Structure 1
Amino acid sequence: MIPYQSALLPFLFLAAFSSILAEGCNRTCGGSSVPYPFGFSSGCPIRLNCNGTAAILRGGYPVVNITSETILLGIPANCTRPFEAALDLFGGNYAMTPRNSLFLRKCSSPSPACVISTEIISEGLHLERCGLKGDNISCYSDHTEDRYLSREKTAEIKCRLLFTSLRYSGNSTSQAELVFGEAELGWWMNGDCRCSANATCAPVNTSVAGKMGYRCTCDPGFAGDGFAAGDGCRVQVSSCSASKYISGRCARSGLLVAGIIAGALLMAGLAFLCHLFHRRRTASKSQETIERLLSEASCTIPVYSYRDIEQATDHFSDANRRGTGAYGTVYVGKLPGNTGVVAVKRIQRRDTDSLEQITNEIKLISSVSHPNLVRLLGCCMDRGEQILLYEFMPNGTLSQHLHGERGEGLSWTSRLSIAAETANAIAYLHSAVHPPIYHRDIKSSNILIDHNFGAKVADFGLSRIGMTESSHISTAPQGTPGYLDPQYHQDFHLSDKSDVYSFGVVLAEMITGMKAVDFGRAPTEVNLAALAVDRIGKGRMEEIIDPFIKVNVDEWTLVSIRKVAELAFRCLAFHKDLRPSMKEVAEELEMLRDGELDGGVEMAQEGKSRRLVLMSATKVDSPVSVQDAWLSEQSSSSTNVSMSSVNR
């Protein structure tokens, strides 16, 4: 005899372990789960995204509820959401029902449904105000005989923005309700019926012409999702009263189900214990590795737990994400007991290579100290994660400022100052550290800008300590295309002069405002190094100066740009022996910067002409002068050699 309360307990445990028992489809997000066929992995027929705490449909729409026939989404009012986002409400297994209306803005033709004043929307419904007074909002719906709205018809709407959605809630037996900011989608499964035992297959007429879907529904007396690949159907405990459990069919069913559940729970418990043991063992090894590394490097950076990092970044929320690179994603966060904001770099490729990258970066950054090198503030190797914490740079990267992704543009004096500070940091790694350190991935996106628009070099993942010549030989991909030393493809050797070449590309970016590689340019100009060498070598440097700094440029600025262009030309020489050292580059840039900051350039007015006296002239000979244009037959082998560097 099994009491009613005892028979109910296994079902509660079964619900808790349902996501573990389902093979190939992870249905758990944070502390909640979703029913099959929904889930968060590639094995789920209808895939959702998980932001750490809640389910998200493609397009960023939060999932409010899932029923046996519908998906309820939140679509908060947004004045700038592009209309194309409405197409994310249609997928291979779901579409909007006719119980919805879309509220649209910036329509080129009147909507077939209605036009509503912005004032009514914003004031009467307490939604976000958009545009000027008189800017109308159009609504669209398609109440046809079809069960779902058509994606094709929706795509034909001539509107630019999707403001929100209106959902009709109610039926003939309940009070009707209009809900703003929500949308109702119907869902189905494609293909032939694959329902479990004790389930009925119901055909679904989808929004796709000539295409039928299906859903599974458990028979009376059974509960579950009804799918053979999901949880199937089980005896519904509530259908049996406590007295019926004493004898008869209900008692036998209860015993059978309880036995099955007990076995399943035992297997799930063993699997969970194995998983927990493996995770703790891996975390322990990672912790031992990081402790050994910190001991070898003689550094005392704090080591944080994964829970601390989660709290600092609000569970790695999208709102705190700042960018994604080749090896990880960067978030901003605030650690417990720390009043300052930090940058959190979460490594994505958690394999042997990425572990080597992160341990190498910890060791190198902990061993150096320079005002223009980003500071490492801590790390985390908990729960199999690999996370680094840096000082936060509020003004993003040099790349973002040069290429119009952030701010209104940098003046030439700011660019020259950033170039000098960056060169000083790299020269410090090459000359002041013993043994020297070669960064091997110098690029504008690895130059961070602080609140005073000072430069700090970051990302030491590919850096290596200079030792023997053979120690730098590697056939594995190194560096970033467009910045990589062209001689690397010949001898697979990266040295201090490789950093000089990469920095030459950064100087070219500062002068031109162009990207290192851009397939939107002419075929001969895709590679910025080739374009810069060609124009500078022919004395036509003015053709490629960034229009932002070219407007109202004075004589000092033009001479300064020419000097930096000449320096970039020498840095981009194909043969490394023709390139200057990083120390020489830093000294030249310091003299150019001080010439402006300390009054080293004197302007004298003589009638309508202006005489320029450059007090701090450069002392380093250049293989090519950019003061006067060259004739084509004067183009020396230096230019041709440099040009070959980008064609190899």
Structure 2
Amino acid sequence: MYTSESSNISWRYVCSDGYRGNPYLPIGCQDIDECEEERHKISCGDATCVNVPGFYRCEGSKTWIIALGVGVGCGVLSLVMGGWWLYKLLKKRRKVKLKKKFFKRNGGLLLQQQMYSHEGSLEKTKIFTSKELDKATNNFNNNRVVGQGGQGTVYKGMLADGRIVAVKKSIAMVVEEVEHFINEVVILSQVNHRNVVKLLGCCLETEVPLLVYEFISNGTLFQYLHDKSEEFPLSWETRLRIAKETAEALWYLHSSASIPIYHRDIKSSNILLDEKFKAKVSDFGTSRSISIDQTHLTTHVQGTFGYLDPEYFQSSQFIEKSDVNSFGVVLVELLTGERPIFSLEREKEGRSLATHFISSMEENRVMEIVDARVVGQAKDDELMMVAKLAYRCLSLSGKKRPTMKEVAIQLDQILALLKDSNVDHHHNQEEIVDLKLDLPFPWDSTSSSMNSSFFSRNICSIEKEPLV
């Protein structure tokens, strides 16, 4: 207690509310923890008693805050997931809609109609989904590319059933040609010949149509003839057999298929070789079918320089014999081992192999340009027979060229002669189908040991169907 001397008044010091202790001592008043007193706990009820300096307060449970946080978090997560799902759904719908658009634009509905209208076509023409071919080619990975050309890119793929296929992705297709393209797919899917690459089906729900063919593993004839790094040069007998098989395939397409088909791009790079070096004619990207009564097809000039028929180049009318001309160039490649177009260094010999070959024939020096790799394997007779056959195929007049049937038969007979070298020479003269040549120059009989009359007879009419 404190007493004032002037006023005779006294004061008594006490600790403030919420504190207890001796107020006359430094830091003598200490905070009271009210929450330890039962009455304060009761006063807070369900709330939590929280001590503060000099007082206490009642705080409600924080569970609702946690619940609110969890709820907000779940809401945001649900919103994000919902947005992502909606995005995926819209993307999928857009993709499906785009596939339908491409399918319709690429003639899918027309193809389905044709498939059902042609008996048996439904089983022969398979319409692949883009998903199937994406999986087969690893999303068209660049390491799956096995070939590229003016018509598109070819990828190697494996279907779900384990079949190895070649998937051709076209560069583009003109809308006006859709109907014709679909007709070709239906026709080519029904082509069944051992020396023609089989069309297994197509995919039309992509921006450009995809064609699916059987896969041929051993590369092209062009590679084996002209690639200097190739370790296994083709023997003369193998070359003759490849020529015969190619000729039989073209004969089949021209006359034995359900509707005559002109290939329009015959060249050594379109002749594939399987593991047994059997020929397979491929790449029908520019091929056209015609009605039975048609004799020619009028189109924009298409093909590969060096193989083009001069008559077709001038008239734009492609005929059966135009394929024969292109095949004649392939025959000359097999005979000489030369490329169809010469380099600039050899321009004095002519820009094309065909021109150079024709000049060599007319100057009676064709033996000088025969491939050195086969000279020791072939008889002069055989080389000259093939040379004369190629010369006829390359005639400037389509009417003077033989048909592919005649070419196939002649090559078959030459190959038979090669295999049976012990047969009497005169007997061969009677049995072998001969070529009637209208050569514009006198032929030197010393260039071939065969009697000149061997080539003077007309081609016999031998009824022989190519193997299917």
Q: Which has the higher helix share?
A: 2
1:371 aligns with 2:186: no
Match of 1:535 in 2: 360
The Cα offsets for residues 589-622 of structure 1, whole Å up to 9 and x where unpaired, read as 010011122446569xxxxxxx997675442221
Do the aligned residues in 1 keep the contact of 2:265 with 2:286 (CA within 8 Å)? yes
Between the two proteins, the alignment pairs up a number of residues equal to 369
The Cα offsets for residues 92-123 of structure 1, whole Å up to 9 and x where unpaired, read as xxxxxxxxxxxxxxxxxxxxxxxxxxxxxxxx
1:621 aligns with 2:445: no
Match of 1:280 in 2: 100
Do the aligned residues in 2 keep the contact of 1:438 with 1:499 (CA within 8 Å)? yes
The Cα offsets for residues 30-68 of structure 1, whole Å up to 9 and x where unpaired, read as xxxxxxxxxxxxxxxxxxxxxxxxxxxxxxxxxxxxxxx
Match of 1:327 in 2: 151
Residue 574 of structure 1, CA deviation: 0.4
Do the aligned residues in 2 keep the contact of 1:601 with 1:614 (CA within 8 Å)? no
Describe the SS at the equivalent of 1:482: coil
The Cα offsets for residues 520-550 of structure 1, whole Å up to 9 and x where unpaired, read as 4422422111011011221111221122223
Describe the SS at the equivalent of 1:383: coil
Rounded Cα–Cα distance in structure 1 between residues aligned with 2:115 and 2:157: 23
Cα RMSD for the two superposed structures: 3.5
Q: Whose RCO is larger (CA < 8 A, sep 6+)?
A: 2
TM-score, normalisation: structure 1: 0.51
Do the aligned residues in 2 keep the contact of 1:440 with 1:462 (CA within 8 Å)? yes
1:122-521 to structure 2, matched below 5 A, reads: 277-284=97-104, 286=106, 287-298=108-119, 299=121, 300=123, 301-337=125-161, 339-352=162-175, 355=178, 358-404=181-227, 406-433=230-257, 435-467=259-291, 469=294, 472-474=297-299, 476-521=300-345
Do the aligned residues in 2 keep the contact of 1:602 with 1:615 (CA within 8 Å)? no
**Which amino acid letter does the alignment assign opposite residue 433 of structure 1?**
A
Do the aligned residues in 1 keep the contact of 2:306 with 2:352 (CA within 8 Å)? yes
Rounded Cα–Cα distance in structure 2 between residues aligned with 1:470 and 1:618: 26
**Which amino acid letter does the alignment assign opposite residue 209 of structure 2?**
Q
Do the aligned residues in 2 keep the contact of 1:358 with 1:386 (CA within 8 Å)? no
Do the aligned residues in 2 keep the contact of 1:297 with 1:366 (CA within 8 Å)? no
1:558 aligns with 2:380: yes
TM-score, normalisation: structure 2: 0.69
Q: Relative to 1, partners in 2 of residues 1:528 and 1:435: Cα closer, same or farther, differing over 3 Å?
A: same
Do the aligned residues in 1 keep the contact of 2:413 with 2:433 (CA within 8 Å)? yes
Rounded Cα–Cα distance in structure 1 between residues aligned with 2:92 and 2:157: 32
Q: Relative to 1, partners in 2 of residues 1:8 and 1:521: Cα closer, same or farther, differing over 3 Å?
A: farther
Residue 462 of structure 1, CA deviation: 2.2
Rounded Cα–Cα distance in structure 2 between residues aligned with 1:294 and 1:626: 57
Deviates more, 1:353-362 or 1:528-537: 353-362
Rounded Cα–Cα distance in structure 2 between residues aligned with 1:406 and 1:12: 58
Do the aligned residues in 1 keep the contact of 2:155 with 2:167 (CA within 8 Å)? yes
**Which amino acid letter does the alignment assign opposite residue 386 of structure 2?**
V
Rounded Cα–Cα distance in structure 1 between residues aligned with 2:320 and 2:173: 29
**Which amino acid letter does the alignment assign opposite residue 579 of structure 1?**
R
Rounded Cα–Cα distance in structure 2 between residues aligned with 1:437 and 1:395: 26
Rg larger in structure: 2
Rounded Cα–Cα distance in structure 1 between residues aligned with 2:104 and 2:298: 34
**Which amino acid letter does the alignment assign opposite residue 280 of structure 1?**
K
Q: Relative to 1, partners in 2 of residues 1:334 and 1:7: Cα closer, same or farther, differing over 3 Å?
A: closer
Do the aligned residues in 2 keep the contact of 1:312 with 1:335 (CA within 8 Å)? yes
Do the aligned residues in 2 keep the contact of 1:600 with 1:614 (CA within 8 Å)? no
Rounded Cα–Cα distance in structure 2 between residues aligned with 1:270 and 1:391: 37
Residue 8 of structure 1, CA deviation: 9.4
Describe the SS at the equivalent of 2:159: coil
The Cα offsets for residues 328-378 of structure 1, whole Å up to 9 and x where unpaired, read as 2111111112x3312221222144267467534422322332221111222
Q: Relative to 1, partners in 2 of residues 1:283 and 1:561: Cα closer, same or farther, differing over 3 Å?
A: same
Residue 412 of structure 1, CA deviation: 0.7
How many percent identity over aligned positions?
34
Rounded Cα–Cα distance in structure 2 between residues aligned with 1:466 and 1:285: 24
The Cα offsets for residues 192-237 of structure 1, whole Å up to 9 and x where unpaired, read as xxxxxxxxxxxxxxxxxxxxxxxxxxxxxxxxxxxxxxxxxxxxxx
Rounded Cα–Cα distance in structure 2 between residues aligned with 1:278 and 1:314: 21
Q: Which has the higher strand share?
A: 1
Rounded Cα–Cα distance in structure 2 between residues aligned with 1:527 and 1:579: 19
